């Protein structure tokens, strides 16, 4: 026989009429879902390439600003744009689309633990964060001559993962609060545009002091700050700690709202 049961759990139900049903181990369910989600991501690689391409193009075009503002400032802004794109455009829209198509409902009626369904999706996005960060490090190094210490790259790498969680959790909040896929799509684009525009222009001081102060502690500003200071660990100070705290705060608040409000079924 070429088919096999790969079950581990052999529960003895308290109910005497309950038959012994086997459940696949959660790790093997997770692995299968992850393989499927990675395949999906690979077949949607045009969207993934865009997510990498946009911050790379900005980084290349900002070569002239490196001397004026410093490599850490330029690179951190570009990584922030990439993380924004992953969380708000990639993750959020794929969740909204699959919910709309009933793919989650189909998975929910299987014995797959529900956490495996979402963690698998998040793992794929985590891989995207890793890829975008590495590509931007390479582009910055090769094209813009942004040279950092190895420890700075390592620290920034960790900071990028924490920072990516802000936008993934923000995306989760958006799909939690909005059940219509098209409205989610429009909202994420608007939020993406708003963050990029206010974050970038405010950091250049083009929007006045008040907006600049607000933007500094926004999800864009806080993330950009910890990335910039991670790239330049010597400059890490009290304000960097505050930015890190703000980032963790955003993750907690967005995650709680996003998980509590999330519905597996879209509104028709």
Partner 1 sequence: MAHKMSVFPKIMKSHSPPRPTRSPAFSRLMTAAPLFHPRYGFILASMSTTFDKPVLQVDRLDVRYGNFQAVKQVSFQVKPGEIFGLLGPNGAGKTSTLSAVEGLLTPTAGAITVAGYDSQREALYARASMGVQLQSTSFQPELTITEIIRLYAAIHGVTLSKDRINSILDDIKLQDAGAKRFGQLSGGQQQRVSLVIATIHNPPLLLMDEPTTGLDPQSRRKLWERIEAMRAKGHAILITTHSMEEAESICDRIAIIDHGQIITTDTPQAIIDDNRDNPEVIRASRKGRITLEDVFIGLTGDAIRS
Chosen residue from 13, 27, 239, 241 binding partner 1 by CB under 8 A: 13
What part of residues 30-49 is at the interface with partner 1 (CB under 8 A)?
A: 31-33, 35-36, 39-40, 43-44
Q: Provide the mask over 200-229, with x wherever binding to partner 1 is found by CB under 8 A and - wherever it is not.
A: ------------------------------
Two tokens, residue 64: 């002239």
Residues 6+ apart with CB under 8 A from 201: 207
**Under 8 Å between Cβ of 59 and 74:** yes
| Per rule CB under 8 A, count of chain residues that contact partner 1 | 47
Instruction: Determine which residue in the list 27, 28, 241, 263 makes contact with partner 1, applying CB under 8 A.
Output: 28
User: Quick one: tokens of 50?
Assistant: 């865009």
**Which of 49, 67, 113, 190 forms a contact with partner 1 (CB under 8 A)?**
113
Closest CA to 198 of 63, 50, 77, 62: 77
Residue 37 and residue 187: Cα distance in Å, rounded?
24
Under a CB-based contact definition with an 8 Å cutoff, are residues 184 and 104 in contact? no
The answer to whether the beta carbons of residues 170 and 254 sit under 8 Å apart is yes
Least distance CB 3 / partner 1 (angstroms): 5
* Binder of partner 1 out of 81, 83, 98, 244 (CB under 8 A): 98
Q: Establish if 145 lies at the interface with partner 1 (CB under 8 A).
A: no
Rounded to whole angstroms, the Cα distance separating 122 from 132 reads 15
Q: Segment contacting partner 1 (CB under 8 A): 19-27, 70-78, 160-168, 221-229?
A: 19-27
CA atoms within 13 A on the CB side of 191: 24
Least Å from the CB of residue 216 to partner 1: 40
Positions in the binding site for partner 1 (CB under 8 A): 1-8, 10-11, 13, 15-25, 28-29, 31-33, 35-36, 39-40, 43-44, 98, 101-103, 105-113, 264
């Amino acid at each position: 026989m070429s088919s096999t049961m790969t079950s581990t759990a052999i529960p003895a139900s308290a109910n005497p009429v309950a038959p012994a049903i086997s459940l696949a181990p959660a790790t093997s369910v997770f692995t299968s879902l992850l393989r499927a989600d990675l395949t999906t991501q690979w077949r949607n690689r045009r969207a993934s390439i865009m997510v990498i391409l946009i911050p790379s193009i900005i980084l290349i075009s900002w070569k002239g600003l490196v001397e004026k503002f410093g490599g850490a400032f330029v690179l951190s802004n570009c990584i922030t744009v990439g993380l924004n794109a992953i969380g708000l455009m990639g993750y959020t829209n794929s969740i909204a689309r699959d919910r709309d198509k009933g793919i989650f409902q189909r998975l929910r009626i299987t014995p797959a633990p529900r956490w495996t369904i979402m963690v698998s999706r998040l793992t794929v996005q985590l891989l995207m964060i890793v890829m975008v960060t590495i590509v931007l490090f390479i582009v910055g190094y090769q094209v813009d001559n942004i040279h950092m210490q190895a420890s700075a790259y390592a620290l920034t790498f960790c900071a990028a993962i924490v920072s990516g969680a802000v936008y993934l959790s923000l995306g989760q909040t958006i799909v939690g609060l909005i059940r219509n896929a098209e409205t989610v799509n429009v909202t994420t684009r608007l939020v993406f545009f708003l963050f990029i525009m206010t974050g970038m222009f405010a950091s250049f001081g083009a929007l006045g002091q008040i907006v600049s102060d607000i933007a500094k502690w926004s999800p864009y500003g806080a993330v950009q700050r910890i990335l910039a200071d991670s790239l330049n660990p010597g400059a890490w100070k009290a304000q960097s700690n505050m930015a890190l705290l703000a980032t963790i705060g955003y993750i907690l608040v967005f995650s709680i709202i996003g998980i509590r409000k999330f519905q597996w079924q879209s509104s028709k």
